[in-house]
């Protein structure tokens, strides 16, 4: 327990550092949102309009960084992430709340499927080394070296388009109102198949490779020979002795991958114009929407830290050697 408490304290410190950095980064980027708007209107704005925009965005006062920083923490404490610059009166928390479920559903489910599928195939490939399964390995190596977004572009070019079953962009048919009815859900699933396949194909190989390699390493351990010598059934040796031990690095990798679900597949969401958090981040960066960027970064940071903690807990549960005596 003491060990876990130490980890929690460490993550709290990391969270503080990350939030602080998060506060500074947008302010270090040259330009400000008003400049961006002026550029968008190609300078056809009166100086009055510009001045009122500065007031509107609350960056007219030239307050000190320190007081800005304090104000930032005070707002965070109230769960207030500020108002978005681009869709002005909407609070950032609302934008995040509306796009987070899309990302969680698409990337979350594919990450879990990818992990289960990849680890399972990896166990088989590692245990039956030298069988036909080994023939898959060069293919998976090739697939794992392909960037997500490129695969997405290829998928759109080949499979999507007018008249095709697969839509090339969006999360659901435009004009539908998001609701939990069969019509909306089927549309959402139809829109998610291509991005999901893209992520699955390029990420499953990594799980296969790492699991297979760990299986091969573990299979050479003495306790595997002992398990064979004990005359245990092949299945038990493969699962309870080899796979159980080989799984450890993959499980912590999985916990970390869960943390990156929120922000990790930005490029896929951009390619498919998927209404998830990554796409919002992309738009926020383009429009210099500080509060939205900060809000999204915050969510990503926290989920990565939580995932780290999860990885620690998983390791403690799976590997008795990491548990301290007493």
Partner 1 sequence: MRQPVLEIRNLDVGYGLGDVALRAVRDVSLTLHRGEVLGLAGESGSGKSTLAYGVTRLLPPPGVITGGEVVYHPENGSPYDVLALGDRELRAFRWAETAIVFQGAMNSLNPVHRISVQLTDVIAAHQPDLSARARAERAREMLRLVGIAADRMDAYPHQLSGGMRQRVMIGMALALQPQIVIMDEPTTALDVVMQRQILRQLVALRERLGFSVIFITHDLSLLVEFADRIAIMYGGRIVEEAPASALYRDALHPYTAGLLGSFPALRGPRRDLTGIPGSPPDLTSMPTGCSFHPRCPKAFEPCPVTIPPLGSPDTPGGSTRTVACLLHPATNPEVR
Is residue 173 within the footprint of partner 1 (CB under 8 A)? no
Is residue 244 within the footprint of partner 1 (CB under 8 A)? yes
CA separation for the pair 242, 199 (Å, rounded): 28
Among 86, 111, 144, 245, binds partner 1 (CB under 8 A): 245
Cβ contact 168:274 at 8 Å: no
For the bound state, the minimum distance from the C-beta of residue 233 to partner 1, rounded and expressed in Å, comes to 6
Residue 52 vs 225, nearer CB to partner 1? 225
**Per-residue contact flags (x/-) with partner 1 for residues 206 to 225, judged by CB under 8 A:** --------------xxxx-x
For the bound state, the minimum distance from the C-beta of residue 126 to partner 1, rounded and expressed in Å, comes to 14
CA separation for the pair 109, 101 (Å, rounded): 11
Length of the chain counted residue by residue = 326
Among 227, 251, 292, 307, binds partner 1 (CB under 8 A): 227
Residues from 246 through 275 that contact partner 1 (CB under 8 A): 248
Helices (H), 265-319: 266-271, 277-286, 290-318
Number of Cβ atoms within 10 Å of the Cβ of 93: 17
For the bound state, the minimum distance from the C-beta of residue 119 to partner 1, rounded and expressed in Å, comes to 16
**In sequence order, which residues have a C-beta less than 8 Å from that of residue 72 and are 6 or more positions away?**
23
For the bound state, the minimum distance from the C-beta of residue 138 to partner 1, rounded and expressed in Å, comes to 22
Residue 173 vs 319, nearer CB to partner 1? 319
* Stretch (H or E) spanning 68: helix 65-77
For the bound state, the minimum distance from the C-beta of residue 225 to partner 1, rounded and expressed in Å, comes to 6
Is residue 324 within the footprint of partner 1 (CB under 8 A)? no
Q: What is the DSSP letter of 270?
A: H
Is residue 61 within the footprint of partner 1 (CB under 8 A)? no
Among 232, 256, 285, 302, binds partner 1 (CB under 8 A): 232
Is residue 239 within the footprint of partner 1 (CB under 8 A)? no
Cβ contact 270:282 at 8 Å: yes
- Separation in Å, CA 128 to CA 122, 124, 238: 10, 6, 10
Cβ contact 85:290 at 8 Å: yes
Is residue 318 within the footprint of partner 1 (CB under 8 A)? yes
The residue with tokens 């960037």 is: 147
Q: Which residues are near partner 1 by CB under 8 A?
A: 220-223, 225-233, 236, 240-241, 244-245, 248, 318-321, 325
């Amino acid at each position: 327990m003491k060990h876990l408490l130490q980890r929690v304290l460490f993550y709290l410190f990391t969270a503080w550092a990350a939030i602080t950095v998060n506060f500074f980064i947008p302010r270090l980027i040259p330009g400000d949102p008003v400049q961006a708007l002026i550029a968008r209107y190609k300078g056809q704005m009166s100086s009055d309009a510009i001045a009122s925009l500065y007031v509107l965005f609350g960056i007219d006062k030239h307050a000190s960084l320190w007081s800005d920083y304090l104000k930032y923490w005070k707002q965070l404490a109230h769960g207030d992430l500020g108002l978005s610059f681009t869709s002005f009166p909407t609070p950032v928390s609302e934008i995040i709340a509306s796009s987070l479920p899309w990302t969680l559903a698409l990337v979350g489910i594919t990450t879990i499927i990818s992990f289960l599928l990849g680890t399972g195939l990896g166990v088989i490939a590692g245990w039956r080394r030298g069988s036909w399964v080994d023939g898959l390995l060069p293919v998976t190596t090739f697939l794992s070296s392909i960037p997500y977004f490129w695969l997405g572009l290829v998928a759109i070019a080949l499979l999507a388009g007018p008249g095709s079953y697969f839509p090339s962009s969006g999360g659901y048919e435009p004009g539908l109102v998001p609701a939990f009815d069969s019509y909306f859900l089927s549309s959402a699933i139809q829109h998610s198949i291509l991005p999901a396949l893209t992520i699955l194909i390029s990420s499953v190989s990594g799980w296969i490779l790492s699991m297979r390699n760990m299986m091969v390493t573990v299979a050479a351990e003495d306790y595997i020979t002992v398990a064979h010598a004990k005359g245990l059934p092949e299945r038990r040796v493969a699962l309870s002795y080899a796979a159980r031990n080989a799984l450890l690095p993959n499980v912590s990798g999985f916990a970390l991958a869960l943390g990156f679900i929120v922000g990790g597949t930005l490029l896929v969401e951009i390619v498919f114009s998927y209404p998830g958090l990554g796409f919002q981040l992309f738009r926020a960066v383009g429009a210099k929407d500080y509060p939205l960027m900060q809000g999204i970064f915050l969510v990503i940071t926290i989920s990565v830290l939580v995932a780290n903690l999860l990885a620690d807990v998983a390791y403690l549960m799976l590997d008795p050697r990491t548990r301290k005596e007493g």
